[in-house]
Amino acid sequence: MALFLVHCPHAFDAMVTENMFGDILSDLAAGLIGGMGMAPSADLGDDYGLFQPSCGAAPTVAGPGIANPIATILSVAMMLAWLDHPETIRGARLIERAVGTMLADPAHRAVDLGGKTSATRMGDPVCAALSGKSCASLFPCFPPLPHVPPPMLHGAISSMDAISAVGKSSAASRVPKPTSKTAR
C-alpha cells in the first residue's frame, strides 16, 4: 500500500486500516501534500469529537513561530462540519475556501514549505480571505492581488463535505448537546 500511495495517490478515495498501519500511512500521506503542517485530523466517537493537526508537539520547532498552523485551522473547519448545524457546516466551507485562497498566493508559504511566513502571520491572511479582502492588503510590501477565486480542488466534493456527512450519521445535529451526555 505504501508503494501505491507513492505511485498513484490520485487513485484513492477513502481507505480504512488498523491503528498502527493508519499511523504509518497517514504520516506518509501527509508527506504527499506538504507535510504534517498541512494535514488536519479528527478523532471521532459516537459522542465526542477531538480535532487536531497531525503534527504533534514538534518541540524542536516550538518557539520561533515557524510552525505551520494550516492543519490546525483546517481541523477547526472539520470541527465545525462535525457539529452538523447548517451554519457551522457553512462556516467549515468558508474556512476551507479561505485557506485555498490564501494558499494560492505563494507569498504565504510557510517556513516548512520553504517559505518565510511565520506561524503568527498565517492566520491573518486566512481571516482576510474570510472577510473578502485581498490577502495582500495585510502586507503593504506586496502589490495588491486580484481577487483569487477559490480553487475548486479535484471535483465537487471537498473533505469537509465528507466530514459533515459523518456528522449526519447521527439522527440530529450535534448541537444543542443531547442531555444524555451530561448524565454520564
Partner 1 sequence: MVFPLPSMTTCRIAVLAGGGIGPEVVNESFKVRQTVETKLHEVRFTFERCSVGAGEGLKNGDPLPASALERVQACDAIPLGAMGLPSVRWPSGVEMTPQIDVREKPDLYYGVRPIKLHRETHSPFKGYGGAGGKPVDFVVIRENCEGLFSEWLTSRPAGRDHETDTMKITRRGAERVCREAFKLSCSRRQCCTRVDKANVLPSMAVLRKIFDEVAAEFPDVQTDRV
Of residues 138-157, those binding partner 1 (CB under 8 A)? 151, 153-155, 157
Q: Closest CB to partner 1 among 21 and 142? A: 21
134 lines the binding site for partner 1 (CB under 8 A) = no
Q: Which of 78, 111, 135, 136 binds partner 1 (CB under 8 A)?
A: 78
Residues 151/144, Cβ–Cβ less than 8 Å = no
Alpha carbon distance 135, 148 (integer Å): 9
116 lines the binding site for partner 1 (CB under 8 A) = no
Q: Closest CB to partner 1 among 82 and 139? A: 82
- 161-173 burial string, b = 16+ CB within 10 Å, else e? eebbeebeeeeee
C-alpha atoms less than 13 angstroms from C-alpha of 40 in its C-beta half-sphere: 21
38 lines the binding site for partner 1 (CB under 8 A) = yes
Q: Closest CB to partner 1 among 33 and 142? A: 33
